[in-house]
Structure 1
């Protein structure tokens, strides 16, 4: 999957001379948290996030009045608070590489270029939505976690065993978890019976089921006062 399939097209932008109050209006009116900064030719020169905006505001314990704060922020421009240089990828970049670039550089967005022209932005929220979709998050069914030898020829029988048990595979992910001897499977399935699935996988003789649970068994907790 490519960045171009998940990015926000034609992002809202500002220029280096845009002041704080106008930038804040752009963010609020368009429900965005990332504001690319471009020069007169439309070339990206920086980016401002909602966090950058908050850090530019006076302390919450300031003695300044509201109108004084507004007047003060009117003189704060994006060039004084933007992050520059700003990182970008081509629209053909894979989603996984984009996620890795964000992780390595400790950022939560990347500008997206087509022929060196700004055409979009992809954020960590887009990455999360993609991850949830490809792993079957939010869909009904069961989640199976299994461990099997990291050897050629073991994956196909594993999938066939699930099919024999009546399972429809919604998603399947494999990780080595720094263990070169074993592969760790994370399977989202629906339609299968747990007893039949365990029976079919047990026939293979090399699969260890480490977890078998219904997807809706996970609950969101609310802590503290409402």
Structure 2
């Protein structure tokens, strides 16, 4: 899966001379927390977040009234508070690479570029949405979580038996185990009962750490 398929295309953006008040109003109107900043040459100049705007405002201890605060924010521009060194990804980058960058650098979004043009933005929300889709979270079924030796054929036996009962696999997710030589598996299937799944695991000589019916 590539970024182009999960990003928000044609994101709302601002220019460096946009006031903080305008930026804040845009975020509120469109229910977003990040705004790419595009300069007069249509190049990505930075990114500004709701947190940046909050930091730029007066502290709670200020003696300014609401009108004075509003005036100051209307005169302060995005260029003064934005992050200028912005990490980006290509629209053809794989999703897991974007997720890795966001985790390693502790950032909540990545502008998506095609050549030097901004074509989208991928955020934590986009990845969380994808996460729920990968796990089939919105669909009912039998869900099992188990740990087994990381070797060929572990999953094929389970899947063959599920298919033989006219069951349907809607999600298979694997990840590394803390135990060397093992791997963790999460499988979700429909069209079979909880007891049938338990019997399948017994026949495959596997023990589920967790098995449940999701309705």
TM-score class, shorter-chain normalisation, is over 0.9
| TM-superposed deviation, 1:165 | 4.1
Q: Provide TM-score, normalisation by structure 2.
A: 0.94
Structure 2 residue aligned with 1:63: 63
Q: What value does the CA root-mean-square deviation take over the aligned residues?
A: 1.4
Paired residue total: 215
The Cα offsets for residues 75-106 of structure 1, whole Å up to 9 and x where unpaired, read as 21111110121111000011111111100110
Q: CA deviation at 1:147?
A: 2.0
Q: 2:213: which partner in 1? A: 214
Q: Which runs of 5+ in 2 are unaligned?
A: none
Residue in 2 that maps onto 1:41: 41
Is the contact made by 2:194 and 2:212 (CA closer than 8 Å) also made in structure 1? no
Structure 2 partner of 1:99 = 99
SS in 1 for 2:197: helix
Structure 1 segment 8-47 matched on structure 2, within 5 A: 8-47=8-47
Residues 9-158 of structure 1: matches in 2 within 5 Å? 9-158=9-158
Residue 192 of structure 1 corresponds to: 192
What is the SS of the residue equivalent to 1:170? Answer: strand
Give 4+ residue runs of structure 1 displaced > 4 Å after superposition. Answer: none
- Match of 1:53, SS? helix
Superimposed CA distance per residue, residues 138-186 of structure 1 (whole angstroms, 9 cap, x where no aligned partner): 2112211122221122221121122234432110111122333222110
- From the superposition, tell whether residues 147 and 161 of structure 1 become closer, same or farther in structure 2 (CA, over 3 Å): farther
Which residue matches 1:176? 176
Q: Supply the distance in 1 between the matched residues of 2:188 and 2:153 (Cα, whole angstroms).
A: 21
Secondary structure, counterpart of 2:147 in structure 1: strand
